Structure 1
């Protein structure tokens, strides 16, 4: 059997197929207006119409690759600087010493460690919609997981997978729920009671699946390279600064409207401080940063390439046609079936629109009037969006964060898809039940 294409080949292939589809799918567009109060562009409902626009040339296809990477520059810089920061900390020995200490504490309590790490990442998804930030932590997580006897797939599930779960079922994810509620004309954070109940149920189901898989697929524990070293005072200071930086970043994201640039700056400063405190010297710290950049470069490019796909579909004037084709038929279905179908349609739409915040802005103005028409509350419409679109990040190959994580873990996408489809479908089944309940109780 031939080797399955790697992440780079897959994304380049999808970009080419997207370009070909711009010649096959009928061109169309919704009318849009600029909201001068918020500065956002809104889609007018029932404004879809066919258009006859010039098709993208081969040169446009080639140009979409650097342009897609450039448009994710902030996320790419974040990955590079966080990756470089962790590489510097690793070179000081503080990270290994800290992990050794943690592994010793958790010896014989591997299940507890798994649950705690999964819960921590799920909480990051709930609060700040974490995804890209996981990429730079993967090398450390792999080391930690293998020292506890967990295989690579378990490590991906407990980290990246848990952030997707938290982001999907969060009552407050600023990049999903809040944007969608704003577009739907709903009070922000409204309807949180049902969302919290569903979140709790999903976390229990997810944890049970994760623990069962981990126990059935244990590997021989890999001893840490510094297992016989004791933690130095310098290492303790560096790890305290690392924890403090995470706290500052989370506070900034939640209360100071921070974005990727502020996060990048914070971790860059931490890396410089850690290198100097760890006696790497100025040159040594710089060289360690460069090595960290090298480790993260492939993952960063993968993240940028994924953005080129939606760029081509939008400029080829077929993105709106895809949206219209997916959601138009829902008006002819019963409300409960429509809600579930809406969720499924969002998952499929997430292939060409890997940004779930962009998906909310694109679809909510269209779906809210449709929901009013077919008897689905706007709150349920938002539920269908967040469950379907964000959970799509678990499997869609156009999601740059997922493909970057798989690339760092050396896991082919086809292997991941075969593995991840089962837990994804289980969670979507719980989501479908929640949607039926929401329709039946008139959730608002």
Structure 2
């Protein structure tokens, strides 16, 4: 097996990683956010519910005294006076971010707990060995099949955080094939991100964005389906090229005649049924993070019963599994803290106001391509898909109309910008959670994904040009 230089972080003489720890990296980004609250003007749009009202942006006076950086009790910004963040308010944003993200964080931890019970049952390892035996360990068959399934759930149903539970399974598969954690993480992340980038019928992205620009909900799916097929094919080929360069090996000790035990079959049947329930729960019953977290607790209990575990063994496995998701949950809370810092100092609306001014009054092609870049930049500050739609679409929609860009194309620009940057931005709590779960350093991920990111960006620009000139 070839070893990957991209798969492991650079190490010092003592064998320790020289790359910045993800928590330290998020704290550094928080300090940058604090600096932005001093550098950028504060301002605000009027809002109706969550949506901004175009043409209502107003500057708000801001006190930029650097002594406030050390204020223990910083004043809160309001409609009349804005205040930059202090170091104290930045630290206070951490528990606030954790609190605001609590449903998602606990759902992720319960995923870890359920997976801990599943791994303890032995059914997952046995099932993967059986899968490898049946397919001959052909990674060129397994990779596209798995990526198509994951991407379909993402683009049609909006699944994204739910796939955190898939990454540990892929880690076991990668280990069996002598492939590292980067392969396992990339298999899930590329497929899920491509699904969101295309969002053929993704309700989480489209249910807010399309009505704002007054186009029928879920309309325009034809072009987005073409985007999905092409981008996913390139993503699969990119990962398989990585596999070809690294090499892989099929376990020699696989027993092609060995059958799964009855308890293992029961457990895997529970896991298979849970996938169906998740699809129905998220798409039909509109489950949120709380309901999903509840479901993962219940699934962990059912798996323990099916495997015949003792209560103590099951509980220990569940707690141990939750521990493994602690870093992922913390990173999501820290990413939310960055958004809170910028929001509380009233600079987010200033950013969208000035970015929108770049494309306003331009030709339709420049305006459309510019909207992709605007959304990509906004994604660094507002990783939330729904949050970004609420603040950007009411502004960019009318600008697109005046420039001759259809509402459908404005939505496409939103999806492209949102999906592209979410592949690389360190402020995306979900991306960092994927990397933490897969035990892949952010630096190693960037080195691996940047060429694919560049290809996707160029293709997105080409698709946008086609959308503009075809009247999409």
Give the TM-score taking structure 1 as reference length: 0.94
Cα separation, 2, equivalents of 1:266 and 1:12: 33
Q: Is 2:328–2:436's contact at 8 Å kept on the other side of the alignment?
A: yes
Cα displacement (A) at 1:311? 1.0
Asked if structure 1 preserves the Cα contact closer than 8 Å seen for 2:373 and 2:417, the reply is yes
Contact 1:114 1:158 in 2 (8 A): yes
Alignment partners' CA distance in 2, 1:225 and 1:101: 8
- Whole-angstrom distance in 2 between the partners of 1:226 and 1:69: 46
Shift of 1:108: 4.6
Aligned positions of 1:330-409 closer than 5 A: 330-409=359-438
Q: Does 1:49 align with 2:64?
A: no
1:197 and 2:193 are equivalent in the alignment: no
Partner residue, 2:247: 218
Contact 1:96 1:226 in 2 (8 A): no
1:223/1:310 Cα in 2 relative to 1: closer, same or farther (>3 Å)?
farther
**In 1, Cα distance between the equivalents of 2:421 and 2:252?**
35
Deviations 1:348-396 (A, max 9, x none): 1111111122101110011111111111111100000001112211100
Deviation at 1:249, TM superposition (A): 1.2
Matched, 1:22 2:37: yes
Q: How far apart are 1:112 and its partner, in Å?
A: 0.8
1:38 alignment counterpart: none
- 2:190 and 2:235 in contact (8 A); partners too: no
Asked whether the equivalents of residues 96 and 224 of structure 1 are also in contact (C-alpha less than 8 Å), the reply is no
Aligned residue for 1:87, secondary structure, equals: helix
* Structure 1 residue 130, shift from structure 2 partner: 2.4
C-alpha distance in structure 2 between counterparts of 1:341 and 1:83, whole Å: 40
Label 1:276 to 1:226 Cα distance change in 2 as closer, same or farther (>3 A): farther
Question: What does residue range 100-119 of structure 1 map to in structure 2 within 5 Å?
Answer: 100-119=129-148
Question: Separation in 1 of the partners of 2:158 and 2:449?
Answer: 20
Q: Which residue of 1 aligns with 2:312?
A: 283
Q: Contact 1:97/1:226 (CA < 8 Å) preserved in 2?
A: no
Deviation at 1:229, TM superposition (A): 6.9
Q: Structure 1 residue 261 and structure 2 residue 280: aligned?
A: no
> Which residue of the partner structure matches residue 182 of structure 2?
153
Backbone CA RMSD of aligned residues = 1.9
Structure 2: distance between partners of 1:229 and 1:399: 43
Q: 2 CA distance for matches of 1:113 and 1:424?
A: 23
Corresponding position of 2:68: none
What is the CA-CA distance between 1:156 and the residue it aligns to? 1.9
Distance between the aligned counterparts of 1:288 and 1:198, measured in 2?
A: 42
Matched ranges for 1:304-323 at <5 A:
304-323=333-352
CA distance in 1, matches of 2:250, 2:395: 52
In the alignment, structure 2 segments of 5+ residues that lack a partner are 1-9, 13-17, 62-81
Which ranges in structure 1 are unaligned for 5 or more consecutive residues?
A: 35-40
Which one is further off, 400-409 or 338-347? Answer: 400-409
Distance 1:340 1:349 in 2: 15
Given that residues 78 and 263 in structure 1 are in contact (C-alpha distance below 8 angstroms), is that contact kept between their aligned partners in structure 2? yes
**How many residues end up aligned between the 2 structures?**
437
Match of 2:200 in 1: 171
Q: Please give the residue correspondences for 1:420-439 in structure 2 after superposition, counting only pairs within 5 Å.
A: 420-439=449-468
Any idea what SS the aligned residue of 2:48 has?
A: strand
1:128 is aligned to: 157
| Cα distance, 1:54–1:280 mapped onto 2, change above 3 Å | same
Alignment partner, residue 418 of structure 1: 447
Using structure 2 for the length normalisation, give the TM-score: 0.88
Which secondary structure does the structure 2 equivalent of 1:398 belong to?
coil
Give yes or no for contact 2:361–2:402 (8 Å, CA) kept in 1: no
Q: Distance between the aligned counterparts of 2:457 and 2:55, measured in 1?
A: 29
